[in-house]
Amino acid sequence: MTAFVQTLTLAARNLTRNGRRTGITLLGLTLGVAAALVLQAFVAGIFSLLGGVVVQGRTGAIQVHRAGHLQADQDALKFTLPYDEALMARIAKVPGVKAVAPRMTFEATIGNGNQSTLALVTAVDPARDGNVCPARYANEVGRPVKPDDKSVAVLGLKLADGLRAKNGDELQLLASGESGQPNLLDIKLIGKIPAATEIDARRLVITTLVQAQELLQMPGRVTEYAVALDRDDRADEMRDVLQAELGKDYQVVSWLDLLPQIRSVRTMLRAVLRIVVGVLLLLLVTAVANTMLMSVMERTREIGTMLALGMKREAIGRLLLMEASVLGGLGTLLGMSVGLGVVQVLFTVGVTFRPPGADVPSTMHPDVDMLAVVVTVAIAFVGTVLAGVGPAKRAAKLSPAECLRSV
């Protein structure tokens, strides 16, 4: 233990002999590790924001459909489910499930008497929907639908503006039910939602489940049950659990299954992130290797003297390796501290931006989990230690006579 402390002390002292070079290397390590952590926090923050917008405000974490519904396209309303309290209770009792809400989603045409356009209707049970999608009416102008409402609707902001509709105006909703017969429902606009996505802004219509069943002439039917989870990041795992619980007559999908483009983008960004972080850490390792090699070249006569005085080659190698370890350990710890400090500030303050097509800006809170921190710091530290192996071996193989003759 005493020998280790002596070697550590000597290694730290040697690093201070060329303070400028050591300082530059430490600065590079600090900034590199910090940048790697901040970059990972930004990517995680983007997907956390996106997941929150979609899950909390639109789809729910999981949806339960009748088998075949999602593949039916134009005949989707032929694959509906009964409004079943027993089924909802069965879903709700699964560990990890927080809430369940029945829903109908379908295409319709909405107009103001002079013009009309395609709409995507989401019919909800107002008494239950807030437990699954608590952020559905975020930033709303007006009010949400209520359980006792009749013939009312909430529209996406751009859809309402396109129809030149104000709160209180009468609109017409036209849709075909399971039989294919078109039906018309007069509705009153009671609210507008500044949507976070383009499709919601231009197509979204929210009404009550009872009104939708009346419009489609499908009483007591729903197209899906939306499910909220204790942890949204377990959506894929819980999808499989619920599928096993409910059986083959049902099709259980996570929100990422409903929006596969988001899953693809997430996979791509994670791959790009790994490459960028890997290249960044490789550059840091190269910088440490260069620093250690320069140190060996500058101290050739010193190393020769130590060898001539009887110091073992293994001890020389351990000393150089300890110097790389001290440099790497200090640099990664400083980088972790700076990186986590920046992430904490950004998480607290938030980063506000406006996604393409969105009506309102969104605030992202970059965050990084401890696993990512540990992996990044471990890779950076091990990499810097390995970077010192080559120079340490070179120093250990030097000949005392040649070292002493060098200038």
Residue with tokens 């027993």: 86
Q: State the pLDDT confidence band at 14, using cuts at 50, 70 and 90.
A: low
Res 176: pLDDT: 86
Q: Work out the percent of the chain whose per-residue pLDDT is above 70.
A: 86
Which position has the higher pLDDT, 122 or 141?
122
Q: Side-chain half-sphere of 237: how many Cα atoms within 13 Å?
A: 10
Q: State the pLDDT confidence band at 227, using cuts at 50, 70 and 90.
A: very high
Q: State the pLDDT confidence band at 61, using cuts at 50, 70 and 90.
A: very high
Say whether pLDDT at 311 is over 80: no
CA torsion angle 177 179 181 183 (round to 10):
-30
Say whether pLDDT at 27 is over 70: yes
Say whether pLDDT at 353 is over 90: no
pLDDT tens sequence across 180-223 = 788 888 999 998 888 766 666 678 899 999 999 999 999 999 99
Sign of CA dihedral 88, 90, 91, 92: positive
Res 304: pLDDT: 65
Which position has the higher pLDDT, 129 or 277?
129
Residue with tokens 């807030």: 130
Res 66: pLDDT: 93
Say whether pLDDT at 6 is over 70: no
Q: State the pLDDT confidence band at 359, using cuts at 50, 70 and 90.
A: low
Res 402: pLDDT: 63
The gap from C-alpha 33 to its chain's centroid, in whole angstroms, comes to 20
Res 103: pLDDT: 94
Say whether pLDDT at 130 is over 80: yes
CA distance 38 to 53: 22
CA distance 300 to 309: 14
Total number of residues shown for the chain = 407
Res 270: pLDDT: 82
Average pLDDT over residues 333-347: 91
CA distance 305 to 299: 10
Burial 104-116 (b: 16+ CB within 10 A, else e): bbbebebbbeeeb
Which position has the higher pLDDT, 349 or 14?
349
pLDDT tens sequence across 115-124 = 888 888 999 9
Bin 119: left if φ > 0, else alpha if -120 < ψ < 50, else beta.
Answer: beta
Bin 56: left if φ > 0, else alpha if -120 < ψ < 50, else beta.
Answer: alpha
Q: State the pLDDT confidence band at 303, using cuts at 50, 70 and 90.
A: low
Burial 79-90 (b: 16+ CB within 10 A, else e): bbbebeeebbee
The gap from C-alpha 164 to its chain's centroid, in whole angstroms, comes to 37
Mean pLDDT of the chain: 83
CA distance 206 to 308: 86
